[in-house]
Amino acid sequence: MSISGGVSMAIERARSIDCTAMQIFVKNNMQWFARPLSRMEIRAFLDHVRRGELLSVFGHASYLINLATTNLQFHANSIRALAEELVRADQLQLPFLVLHPGAHLGAGEQAGLEKIVNSIDEVFRKIPNVKTKIALEITAGQGSCIGHRFEHLAHIIENVREPERLRVCLDTAHLFAAGYDISSESGVRKILREFDRVIGRDRLVAIHVNDSKTPCGSRVDRHEHIGKGRIGLDVFRFIMRSPRFRKIPKVLETPKSKDLAEDVINLNTLRRFAE
């Protein structure tokens, strides 16, 4: 949900279309740094806790951040920006911040993974008291992006100093584009068993519910409205009905316009499955 006009505006937008879960950026996602949140902004935002209408609110890190980059200046910026975003998320009492692990830019997956592990250690060392966790998101594997295999996320979790500060976020469009064929219920069940074995089901904290414009295994990340893409409706029906996902917040990242009309249509499609 857009935070234009201030983070608390996102809550009003979400409630205007009856959302019970919401994902936000904690600052303008096209800028590296931002002035700190004011007391007033924080207080206005935290009012939602008192109102109790949103059951789950969490953050997504800026797309500029790349913990695996080979460019020294970008890497320094990434470390600082991620630490600052985690502080902001913590001030807003967000339980986790979703993060794309990074892109190795030609250095290779192994080198990239090692860089990500060291970077996460460095970020956490800077902010020992921040409670907001990082939720590593499965990626579509576009270009040199790491994180399109469960094994990548597991490797990061197993090698950082503070694995208890890491969680995982699934994205249906990314899974599909990465080559995980979730277009049938049997496919979904098989892939979830793999998730449980490689990562562990307790790590999952959120699902990005998106259809995909691109075919399975394309490694191209293009989100589409629910039922209008290549995945089909089976996985969405499964996610909305499965008891294992009942308490896992699910958010749309589908194309949207200012009046949120597309969100309402997508929400209705999904909610019908849950009835």
- Rounded to a whole number of angstroms, the minimum distance from the CB of residue 43 to Fe ion is 28
208's contact among Zn ion, Fe ion, none, with CB below 5 to 8 A by partner kind, is: Fe ion
Tokens of 95: 């339980």
For residues 156 and 261, give the distance between their C-alpha atoms in angstroms, rounded to a whole number: 38
For residues 94 and 239, give the distance between their C-alpha atoms in angstroms, rounded to a whole number: 23
Which 3 state secondary structure label does DSSP give 99?
strand
Whether residue 207 contacts residue 245, with contact meaning beta carbons closer than 8 Å, is answered with yes
For residues 109 and 115, give the distance between their C-alpha atoms in angstroms, rounded to a whole number: 10
For residues 141 and 181, give the distance between their C-alpha atoms in angstroms, rounded to a whole number: 14
Q: Is 85 in the site for Fe ion (CB under 5 A)?
A: no
Nearer to Fe ion, 91 or 139 (CB): 139
Give 51: exposed, middle or buried? Use CB within 10 Å, 0-12, 13-18, 19+: exposed
Nearer to Zn ion, 90 or 221 (CB): 221
In the complex, residue closest to Zn ion by CB: 221
* Amino acid at site 63: Y
27's contact among Fe ion, Zn ion, none, with CB below 5 to 8 A by partner kind, is: none
| DSSP H or E stretch at residue 194 | helix 185-198
Q: Is 148 in the site for Fe ion (CB under 5 A)?
A: no
Nearer to Zn ion, 65 or 130 (CB): 65
For residues 128 and 211, give the distance between their C-alpha atoms in angstroms, rounded to a whole number: 37
224's contact among Fe ion, Zn ion, none, with CB below 5 to 8 A by partner kind, is: none
Say how many residues touch Fe ion, by CB under 5 A.
Answer: 4
What lies within 8 Å, CB to CB, of 275 at 6+ separation is none
Q: Is 171 in the site for Fe ion (CB under 5 A)?
A: yes
221's contact among Zn ion, Fe ion, none, with CB below 5 to 8 A by partner kind, is: Zn ion
Nearer to Fe ion, 84 or 137 (CB): 137
Binding residues (CB under 5 A) for Zn ion: these are 221
Nearer to Fe ion, 46 or 256 (CB): 256
90's contact among Fe ion, Zn ion, none, with CB below 5 to 8 A by partner kind, is: none
Nearer to Zn ion, 84 or 171 (CB): 171
Residues 185-214 that bind Fe ion (CB under 5 A): 208
Residues binding Fe ion (CB under 5 A) = 137, 171, 208, 253
